[in-house]
Amino acid sequence: MGLLSGLEKFGLSLDGIDITEEKETKKKAAAPKKSAPILPTEEKDFLLKKEVKCAVCDKKFSALVIKGSKAKRMEPDSDLRPRFQGIDTVKYDVYACPYCGYAAMTKSFESMAPSQLKWVREAVCQNFKPSAIDLNDRETYTYEEAVDRLKLALVSAMAKRVKLSEKAYICLKIAWLRREQIEQLSASTKKEDLDKREAYKAEYENFYRQAYDGFMKVSSTETPPFYGLNQNTLDYMLANMALYFKDYQTSAKLVSSLLTSTNTPSNLKDKCFDLKQQLVEISKKQKAAAAAKKTEQ
């Protein structure tokens, strides 16, 4: 399965990519008590529609965005994937024009040099099917819609020839969404769901690897911030990703550097200690397995 499979419905394809390339009342009557604020309970309660002007075709469209300070932040995943109560904010990080197909991370959507405008029109707009992402009537985005929007953002990022850090970050967000979909189907034994899990797993592995390889290269070829990430945050994230890919030497090196650096915040060092303990346990198991194998010989 190609990294950007599913883009055919948009008329686009980019298989085999490598991103490394509120008065007081009178006292005659008791003042009415203020009712407690109604807290959001559904995903749609955290969202509002925003009118956005496309940087490529100049047409206006509606996009769903997170209401400021409505979502309660929770403990992130080990690789710093953000978690909020009641909503997955990663699904709403992209603006995607339903008219010309240009898409980008919200903070980069308006950033467009003349040369980039030309490249996007040639690589994206000429082949885009306008009806494919018309989501103006949506109250929320599904995971599939969010993944498609991120894939479109990756196509546009490749066309714009943006920094590797931006492309790696988009890949990471796609992987995070696929991982969530895998977890949501983890208890199902239906063949349809099992097939979906396999497809999601394949895309997760591919995009997570692209993000890892991309950010590893970024750390030595770009200067911080790396698309909003400072050096400590990137190194910690990479240490966790390296652990996932069983690149224990790289993970240990990054953890050691963070623990010995005076610039590492104390809360991040606490996380590094936990990660170091995982690496120690893995090392013990590897040594025990090696010793057992030697004894058998």
SS3 state of residue 225? coil
The confidence score (pLDDT) of residue 146 equals: 96
Q: Which residue has the higher pLDDT, 140 or 132?
A: 140
CB 233 within 8 A of CB 272: no
In a domain, 14, yes or no: no
**Bridge pairing between strands 94-96 and 103-105:** antiparallel
Distance CA 36, CA 151 (A): 41
Look at residue 154 and tell me if it is in a domain.
yes
Nearest to 9 by CA among 192, 142, 144: 144
131 pLDDT higher than 60: yes
Confidence tier at 61 by pLDDT (50, 70, 90): very high
The Cα–Cα gap between 194 and 224 comes to 41
Report helix angle 191-221 to 231-244, nearest 10.
Answer: 140
pLDDT tens per residue, range 178-235? 999 999 999 999 999 999 999 999 999 999 999 999 999 999 999 999 999 999 999 9
Lowest model confidence (mean pLDDT) among 19-23, 173-177, 192-196: 19-23
The pair of structure tokens assigned to 162 is 């943006």
161: left (phi over 0), alpha (psi -120 to 50) or beta: left
Is 88 inside a domain boundary? yes
Domain-located, residue 49: yes
CA gap 250, 215 in Å, rounded: 13
Q: How many CA atoms lie within 13 A of 38 on its CB side?
A: 4
Residue 173 included in any domain = no
Cα R_g (the chain), whole angstroms = 23
Q: 113 burial class (0-12, 13-18, 19+ CB within 10 angstroms)?
A: exposed
95 part of a folded domain:
yes
Q: Read off the pLDDT of each residue in 56-71 and give the average, rounded to a whole number.
A: 91
Query: What's the pLDDT score for residue 268?
Result: 96
The pLDDT of residue 17? 72
How confident is the model over 98-107, as a mean pLDDT? 96
Q: Does the pLDDT of residue 119 top 60, yes or no?
A: yes
The boundaries of the domain holding residue 152 are 5-9+45-162
d(C-alpha 89, C-alpha 238), whole Å: 21
Average pLDDT for the chain? 90
User: Looking at the domain assignment, is residue 176 inside a domain?
Assistant: no
> What pLDDT is recorded for position 49?
93
Which residue from 282, 296, 297, 10 is spatially nearest to 152, judged by alpha carbons?
10
Is residue 58 in a domain? yes
The answer to whether residue 135 scores a pLDDT higher than 70 is no
Res. 24 pLDDT band, cuts 50 70 90: very low
Nearest Cα to Cα of residue 123 among 215, 213, 17: 17
Residue 269 CA to residue 121 CA, distance in Å, equals: 46
* Cα 14 from Cα 43, distance rounded (Å): 32
Count of domains for the chain: 1
Span 290-295, mean pLDDT? 86
3-state SS assignment for residue 185: coil
* Res. 79: pLDDT tops 50: yes
pLDDT at 249 over 70: yes
Q: In this predicted structure, what is the pLDDT of residue 21?
A: 73
Residue 51, beta-bridge partner list: 62
